Structure 1
Amino acid sequence: MNTLEKLYETVASRKGADPETSWTAKLFAKGPEKCAEKFGEEAVEAIIEAVKGDRERLTSEAADVLYHLMVMLAARDVTLDQVMAELERREGISGIAEKAARPK
């Protein structure tokens, strides 16, 4: 099991946990919309560090983005396996072709 799989399992296991004992459970208790908002905030912070060129801060913010992505996915009952299957489906397809094939 890789690090992202472990992270997703840990995050998903916190869905029913006490919000007083788990930051992840606290996010879930605020609802999927708040989880998505938090993901967006972290993504913006990562973008800022990428523009600044601060590799150490970008690394830290990228880790926050991945964590909050897992929370957002789990909040909407989307599994990491489903995301990985979608990536595998896209493998070997040009990004331009894949985007053109999406339903309008």
Structure 2
Amino acid sequence: MQPFTEKVIKIIKNIPRGKVMTYGQIARLAGSPRGARQVVRILHTQSEKHQLPWHRVVNGKGEIGFKEGDLHDIQRELLENEGIHFNINKRIDLQEFAHESSQQI
């Protein structure tokens, strides 16, 4: 496993219940500020294997990355069950719900 992948998995596993992180935020903490798309790929391929809380990762606008549909609805429900609220524009207030981890892994 690549070091970046290992770091991303560790970061995602440590997102606490009721908080979210963005793809870009995770990429920066893992040492690749422009690696947000790689974070998406890692989530897609490694979530089940490593039991990642994939639902706690959103885009930089605080939106769910999936288009409307089953996965979008599942992610929204999982987040709401953790106490995360969406505004009228279907966005999460990142000021309130973002997990701020300044520690680079």
Task: Say whether the fold is shared (TM-score over 0.5).
Answer: no
**Bigger relative contact order, structure 1 or 2 (CA pairs below 8 A, ≥6 apart):** 2
* TM-score between both structures, scaled by the size of structure 1: 0.30
TM-score, normalization by structure 2: 0.30
